[in-house]
Structure 1
Amino acid sequence: MVGIDEKLEPVLAEVLSRNAGEGEFHQAVREVLESLGRVVAKHPEYADHALIERICEPERQIIFRVPWVDDAGQVQINRGFRVQFNSALGPYKGGLRFHPSVNLGIIKFLGFEQTFKNALTGMPIGGGKGGSDFNPRGRSDGEIMRFCQSFMLELHRHIGEYVDVPAGDIGVGGREIGYLFGQYTRLTNRYEAGVLTGKGLVYGGSRARREATGYGAVYFVERMLATKGASFDGRRVVVSGSGNVAIYTMEKVEQFGGRVVACSDSNGYVVDEAGIDLELLKEVKEVRRGRVADYAALRGKGAYYVDEGSVWDVPCDVAMPSATQNELTGKDARTLIAAGVIAVGEGANMPSTPEAVRLFQEAGVLFAPGKAANAGGVATSALEMQQNASRDSWSFEQTEARLAEIMANIHDTCAATAEEYGAPGDYVLGANVAGFVRVAEAMTALGVI
């Protein structure tokens, strides 16, 4: 990790000044700017024409009230967000997050990251993100439906298949996408399948979309390991989280011969030295909507639950943080390094703190940043848009083959870019620079926008 080039220091100062109190957004911008010193040295026109300042400023920020009625007949009020960050490459594309932690700064950080992530896919999609501070946990299907309908009552004014195409994220799965899409069709009086991705198969969804983020992260890390003559085969793996991304990360790790020995949720983590039983975990999480403590109780056979400490206390060869931002700290990184970790692949968005990233890189641990490693989800969303536009439906095998090809291309682009800019093996720099250059070239071609 290097400091920020002096030409870019005013950009960061302006971001910090204009976006006070938005720590996650500041962190995301700083990380990208730290990678761009080599770029502005090679392309001084990017710094001279305020291009970078424009890339750091969202095109549009929408905040709205979401009133809804709970099962007790009480009116509840939440806040909705949609940040349309950059459309130089195509319509805004990015998920919706329903979680109590959601605020404007978090949505801006996610939208900023999404812009470069989407650019890395090579597909014609811009960057955006949205969500609400609504907490779906413990809510009935009726309450979630009423919230989603109220949320879409405002959001529908700002989206469309050629404008902005949301998808799911934390707290927004197939159930929520269904309610949102149903309300959109009702409000617009048209069946615009390409307006949302992550849809159910019976109404325009894509096979392999549910699996894509987790699968894609594993494809990326497997290719990264191969550069050192290694693979997942026979490796101990720890995956944080136990939601959609984590579950399908575990599934693909198993297919590549690895053994996932621990996973977590917001309450604690479970260790299962025999390997996480994925069918049981899916039953607990997707059917019963339970917790990993329930998995441990049902599993028996030596599995145990821990409600203190960190899942990163469990020794492993490969760590896959797949829960949320800044979950893997410097302390966790030191623990993993001492235990012999050889690779880290981010399945979530910015799950490792800057200190953790620095420690991994200094220790020679292979590190795959989220904007590259977890791009499989949005790439497959773009494939869903492609199918919707052509009124077509692909097989699971066809879609997964395209996913594998896209992730290989992203890996190779990041590796080649890092090499080109004098930092071989630095996937953070490679991802940041490759994504930035593609967006910058498009914005330069389009004039001052």
Structure 2
Amino acid sequence: MKLLANVMEQVLKRNPNETEFHQAVKEVLESIEPVAEKHPEWMQAGIFSRFVEPERQIIFRTAWVDDNGDVQVNRGFRVQFNSAIGPYKGGLRFHPSVNVGIIKFLGFEQILKNSLTGLPIGGGKGGSDFDPKGKSDGEIMRFCQSFMLELSKHIGENTDIPAGDIGVGGREVGYLYGMYKKLRNDFTGVLTGKGLSYGGSLARTEATGYGLCYFMEEALNAKGKSFKGATVTVSGSGNVAIYATQKIHEMGGKVVAMSDSNGYIYDSKGIWLETIQRIKEVERERISKYIEYHPGSIYKEGCTGIWDVECDIALPCATQNELDEQAAKTLIANGCFAIGEGANMPTTPEAVDLFIKKKVLFGPAKAANAGGVATSALEMSQNSMRYSWSFEEVDAKLKDIMVTIYKNVSAAAKEYGEEDNLVVGANIAGFIKVATAMYAQGIVY
């Protein structure tokens, strides 16, 4: 990284202790070094330095009252990273690990992911260190209302459109949207992932998991392979993991392991998805309860152990940096021939390098899991039209977007001499669109 070394140095200097953000930026800058060589005019215009600096970072206090009448205080975040190709678009994450560095890493990745969809949406991300686990519906509602009291000042249907992420599902989006509408007296498409009765889109819940499978199936087909007849491991048990599992089964594959933050389950006959949905979406219990319904299955403590399970394809769909170099070595030794990232940056740099070196097909998150935000943008379009498409229509559009993403990413990798390296292809293809727009709009102070 010769030309962009100074850019990385500035990132490290200005953003101390933000390791996830450093990791995300370093990977992208290394990939787009050939682009910097090809476009000296972008260097002169400071495109690369501006690209890694958020346009706006908002941090705010969120005070709320718990069921005991005690006042609790959390911190809220919204990073509006880049609006060169459209309004800021990105989810809200409620989790104790959330800090400004996590949100910046997610927002930075979102710029490229959104660009790859081909739709006019910029990159942003937000959230809070609030933990919804163990909270009552009333506590979650009061927190969401307090959070939106401040967030509403910074978002809008043509400015910034948040969505859900870890810890923010349909319940939370409903509470957030209700408060926004109350504050603004304005029924708009300012949040996506809404309920179907108030502007949500069919297939949005399934979109990230389905999209992951559409992308990976296209990549697998290019190598003469398929999900059909494959044994698959899927980490996580949220929306992405659940609907990826559903689509894999439809495609003829067999998911044998899933996990949550406590541990993982293994079922050699194939995971019964209806049981997972009941446990996670209705009972809101830990995944260990699966073995009560299916006595022949196995549960083991420690979620990282899931990568010891023999499989043909692995889909990390839980959280960042969950699949490290040692796990990568185990997967390769066990015959795994493809990895598809369903979560945001779930694979460490060392593991990614190993997969690419060993010629394991690797689908990076910013391309492979773009289906969620793509369908959120389709929800925005339906809101603007005051119209709804059928499930089949949205699903067809989603599949077309994911297939196109693979083709564009693969073509970019080939053009820049990195054939089969979809990480480089995704970074370059996503960046070029944004950089072209930034350059055309001039140096905006």
Global fold match (TM > 0.5): yes
2:377 match: 382
Q: Deviations over 1:176-207 (max 9, x none)?
A: 00000000000001111x10000000000000
1:128 match: 124
2:245 match: 250
**Residue 297 of structure 2 is aligned with which of 298, 303, 316?**
303
Offset of residue 46 of structure 1 = 2.0
Distance 2:124 2:77 in 1: 11
2:64 match: 68
Q: Deviations over 1:263-288 (max 9, x none)?
A: 00000000011101001110000000
2:329 match: 334
1:91 aligns with 2:105: no
Offset of residue 49 of structure 1 = 2.2
Q: Deviations over 1:143-175 (max 9, x none)?
A: 000000000000000000000000000000000
Distance 1:181 1:269 in 2: 34
Contact residue 211 and residue 245 of structure 1 kept, 8 A: yes
**Residue 180 of structure 1 is aligned with which of 176, 183, 194?**
176
**Residue 203 of structure 2 is aligned with which of 182, 190, 208?**
208
1:419 match: 414
Matches of residues 105-184 of structure 1 in structure 2 within 5 Å?
Answer: 105-184=101-180
Offset of residue 22 of structure 1 = 0.2
Contact residue 65 and residue 142 of structure 2 kept, 8 A: yes
2:283 match: 288
Distance 2:329 2:292 in 1: 31
Distance 1:298 1:255 in 2: 23
**Residue 438 of structure 2 is aligned with which of 416, 426, 443?**
443
Offset of residue 116 of structure 1 = 0.5
Mean Cα deviation higher: 43-52 or 155-164: 43-52
Which SS does the other structure have where 1:440 is aligned?
helix
Question: CA RMSD for the aligned pairs?
Answer: 0.6
Distance 1:36 1:159 in 2: 31
Contact residue 45 and residue 439 of structure 2 kept, 8 A: no
2:401 match: 406
Matches of residues 293-372 of structure 1 in structure 2 within 5 Å?
Answer: 293-300=288-295, 302-308=296-302, 310-372=305-367
Which SS does the other structure have where 1:294 is aligned?
helix
Offset of residue 211 of structure 1 = 0.3
1:218 aligns with 2:213: yes
Which SS does the other structure have where 1:128 is aligned?
strand
2:429 match: 434
Offset of residue 68 of structure 1 = 0.2
* Aligned partner letter, 2:157: E
Which SS does the other structure have where 1:336 is aligned?
helix
Which SS does the other structure have where 1:253 is aligned?
helix
* Aligned partner letter, 2:297: A
1:241 aligns with 2:236: yes
* Aligned partner letter, 2:94: F
Could you tell me the TM-score, scaled by structure 2's length? Answer: 0.99
Contact residue 372 and residue 410 of structure 1 kept, 8 A: yes
Distance 1:296 1:281 in 2: 11
Offset of residue 128 of structure 1 = 0.1
Contact residue 8 and residue 47 of structure 1 kept, 8 A: no
Contact residue 159 and residue 195 of structure 1 kept, 8 A: yes
Which SS does the other structure have where 1:351 is aligned?
coil
Distance 1:351 1:253 in 2: 20
* Aligned partner letter, 1:244: N
Could you tell me the TM-score, scaled by structure 1's length? Answer: 0.98
Paired residues, number: 443
Distance 2:54 2:17 in 1: 17
Mean Cα deviation higher: 358-367 or 35-44: 35-44
Contact residue 387 and residue 393 of structure 1 kept, 8 A: yes
Contact residue 3 and residue 37 of structure 2 kept, 8 A: no
Which SS does the other structure have where 2:17 is aligned?
coil
Mean Cα deviation higher: 34-43 or 100-109: 34-43
Which SS does the other structure have where 1:96 is aligned?
strand
Distance 1:47 1:360 in 2: 32
Distance 2:224 2:3 in 1: 39
Distance 1:274 1:44 in 2: 56
* Aligned partner letter, 2:347: S
Distance 2:298 2:428 in 1: 43
Which SS does the other structure have where 1:24 is aligned?
helix
1:34 match: 30
**Residue 10 of structure 1 is aligned with which of 6, 11, 22?**
6
* Aligned partner letter, 1:191: F
Distance 2:180 2:348 in 1: 37
Q: Deviations over 1:274-313 (max 9, x none)?
A: 101001110000000111101122222x111000451101
Which SS does the other structure have where 2:153 is aligned?
helix
Distance 1:11 1:325 in 2: 24
2:75 match: 79
Which SS does the other structure have where 1:447 is aligned?
coil
Which SS does the other structure have where 2:81 is aligned?
strand
Distance 1:336 1:46 in 2: 40
Which SS does the other structure have where 1:20 is aligned?
coil
Distance 1:248 1:103 in 2: 28
Alignment identity in percent?
Answer: 63
Distance 1:44 1:246 in 2: 42
Q: Deviations over 1:17-48 (max 9, x none)?
A: 00000000000000000101211122122223
